[in-house]
């Protein structure tokens, strides 16, 4: 069977799409933001993503260090005065995943259909907030170090060229302008990435003070279980320093979906999800021999758990890197090697056409790149994943749990949520991390059904004061794609400071949900798929199953649904 790395490289080659040499934009406005951060930006033409001509969009770069330029794309809130709306930043995980995933696959104002056409997302989170999508750290997505003319080899290497001429030996469509892949020009750990994220916010807020006057909220997923707690604790620490020329960022909310918080807990959750006590889809994937191997690889002397504890005890990069590689290949990837199912949605076989990723080709069109002022092609740059891998960041808890406690002590809302069909950062591991936080009163809270405007029960929440854990039914890793209405209402409730259960009650100190200590609802396996789906399949969020094909349902999807050509997934938590 091909190795995991080989599969990633094959996926990268299959999903790269056509690239081209990108002429440097000449119309970017240059300003100095807060904290002295230079910002270059332009207004994005209507129809590029947001289809309402009355709703403005801007994109640009924060020049956070020499040869480190972080790309951002901002959208005004719909249906309200954006100068009075809250501001929410969204980042994806990886490490090395672009936030264009969140924008186009999940919760942004638009998606791209099977035919490459932009369509409106009626469930965009910009319905209730200004939205800022950031590609971080440097070299992720449209962020870049040094733009170079190059071609991309079949194994994923960027090979520089003397000029903007594509040689005959380069693979068709592989030549273009890329960010020079240098691991010294990006972050190599969660902690190391936090300062440039803060600088990006300072730059944007200084360039656009009218969008930064009110409450600030942070949302993320996947490796965001590392990013979210650490980055926001850093923001609070910077606020306390009274830095001249810097803005105090009034952080109110942190939302983390299917997060990777604590590897010691969450590597064990792979066993919990597949073997005991198992998932709620009544799917027991392994025979007795595989179950025995899985258990020994995880708990046997000197194996995964012991290695993770050694990483925690020593803090040495090589120890942590070795621990993560052992656990990834011999624990996590048992699922992939045996089952051929999508780690991000156990209901589907691979290749999985959900969420829709057709936007990756759109992002590499000259028209789109000119519209947003891009300096390079859009890429899933493996350099960031390599840099983090060198320090074993994935195997480290990085203080995430303690940082969540710190944020709660500052009266900041922390809402953790998880789609229950995801294996990669599964809800059992997220639930265990939530319990480890031990927020005041959380051990006395219980699970209750979430009430939504359409009277469908999409999941359950356990909440104590400003801390909550929410399980979303029939959802893979990217919850807003699978359950768009529920995720939008969840988001709105959380940033308004209301209870997750109903959205009607402002959360006060002492608020508790009352119910059983565990969420025990079982769907059964009626939505499990047993055949590989075609690339033009659609997803029906009402039936929680594949719908027809795009040819049959294009108009319906334009109105009400919200994926993917098959692509590489940088880092361990590649979304």
Q: How far is it, in rounded angstroms, from Cα 414 to Cα 465?
A: 10
Q: Which of 222, 380, 519, 561 is catalytic?
A: 222
514 is annotated as an active-site residue: no
69 is annotated as an active-site residue: no
Tell me the C-alpha to C-alpha distance, in Å, between residue 463 and each of 256, 345, 441, 488, 498.
15, 26, 9, 18, 11
Contact indicator for 494, 313 with CB cutoff of 8 Å:
no
Q: Which of 126, 403, 477, 499 is catalytic?
A: 477
Is 557 strand, coil or helix? helix
Q: How far is it, in rounded angstroms, from Cα 97 to Cα 105?
A: 13
Element (H, E) at 269: helix 263-274
Peptide bond into 137 cis (omega under 30): yes
222 is annotated as an active-site residue: yes
Q: How far is it, in rounded angstroms, from Cα 522 to Cα 383?
A: 40
Is 563 strand, coil or helix? coil
Q: How far is it, in rounded angstroms, from Cα 528 to Cα 279?
A: 12
Element (H, E) at 363: helix 359-363
Q: Which of 336, 393, 394, 422 is catalytic?
A: 422
Q: How far is it, in rounded angstroms, from Cα 330 to Cα 150?
A: 36
CA 109-115-120 angle, to 5 degrees, is 20
Q: How far is it, in rounded angstroms, from Cα 305 to Cα 330?
A: 12
Within 10 angstroms of residue 165's Cβ, the number of other Cβ atoms is: 10
Q: Which residues are marked as active site? A: 222, 422, 477
């Amino acid at each position: 069977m091909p190795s995991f790395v080989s599969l990633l490289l094959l996926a990268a080659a299959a999903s790269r799409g056509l690239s081209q040499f990108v002429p440097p934009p000449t119309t970017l406005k240059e300003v100095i933001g807060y904290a002295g951060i230079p910002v270059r930006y332009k207004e994005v033409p209507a129809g590029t993503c947001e289809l309402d001509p009355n709703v403005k969009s801007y994109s640009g770069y924060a020049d956070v260090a020499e040869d480190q330029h972080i790309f951002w794309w901002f959208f005004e809130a719909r249906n309200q005065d954006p100068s009075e709306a809250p501001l929410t930043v969204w980042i994806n995980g990886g490490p090395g995943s672009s936030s264009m995933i969140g924008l186009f696959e999940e919760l942004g104002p638009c998606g791209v259909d099977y035919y490459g056409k932009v369509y409106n997302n009626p469930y965009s989170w910009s319905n209730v907030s200004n939205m800022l999508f950031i590609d971080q750290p440097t070299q992720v997505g449209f962020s870049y170090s040094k733009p170079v003319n190059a071609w991309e080899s079949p194994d994923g290497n960027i090979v520089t060229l003397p000029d903007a001429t594509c040689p005959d030996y380069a693979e068709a469509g592989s030549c273009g302008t890329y960010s020079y892949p240098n691991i010294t020009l990006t972050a190599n750990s969660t902690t190391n990435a936090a300062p440039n994220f803060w600088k990006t916010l300072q730059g944007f807020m200084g360039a656009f003070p009218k969008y930064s006057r009110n409450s600030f909220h942070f949302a993320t997923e996947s490796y965001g279980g590392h990013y979210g707690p650490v980055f926001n604790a850093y923001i609070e620490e910077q606020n306390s320093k009274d830095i001249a020329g810097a803005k105090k960022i009034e952080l109110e909310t942190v939302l983390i979906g299917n997060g990777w918080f604590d590897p010691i807990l969450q590597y064990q959750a792979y066993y919990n999800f597949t073997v005991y006590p198992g998932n709620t889809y009544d799917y027991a994937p392994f025979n007795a021999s595989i179950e025995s191997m899985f258990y020994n690889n995880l708990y046997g002397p000197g194996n995964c758990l012991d290695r993770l504890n050694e990483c925690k005890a020593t803090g040495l990069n090589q120890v942590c890197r070795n621990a993560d590689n052992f656990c990834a290949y011999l624990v996590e990837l048992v699922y992939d090697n045996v089952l051929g199912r999508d780690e991000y949605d156990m209901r589907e076989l691979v290749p999985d056409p959900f969420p829709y990723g057709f936007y990756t080709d759109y992002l590499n069109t000259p028209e789109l790149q000119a519209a947003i002022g891009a300096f390079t092609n859009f890429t899933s740059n493996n350099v960031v994943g390599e840099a983090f891998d060198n320090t074993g960041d994935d195997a480290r808890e990085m203080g995430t749990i303690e940082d969540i406690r710190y944020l709660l002590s500052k009266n900041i809302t922390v809402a953790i949520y998880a789609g229950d069909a995801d294996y990669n950062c599964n809800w059992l591991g997220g639930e265990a991390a939530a319990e480890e936080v031990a927020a005041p009163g959380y051990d006395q809270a219980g699970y209750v059904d979430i009430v939504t405007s359409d009277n469908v029960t999409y999941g359950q929440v356990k909440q104590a004061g400003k801390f909550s854990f929410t399980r979303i039914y029939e959802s893979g890793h990217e919850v807003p794609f699978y359950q768009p209405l529920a995720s939008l209402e969840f988001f709105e409730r959380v940033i308004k400071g209301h209870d997750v259960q109903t959205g009607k009650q402002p959360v006060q100190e002492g608020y508790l949900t009352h119910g059983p200590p565990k969420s025990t609802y079982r769907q059964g396996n009626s939505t499990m798929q047993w055949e590989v789906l075609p690339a033009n399949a659609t997803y029906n969020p009402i039936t929680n199953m594949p719908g027809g094909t795009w040819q049959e349902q294009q108009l319906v999807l334009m109105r009400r649904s919200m994926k993917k050509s098959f692509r590489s997934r940088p880092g361990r938590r590649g979304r």
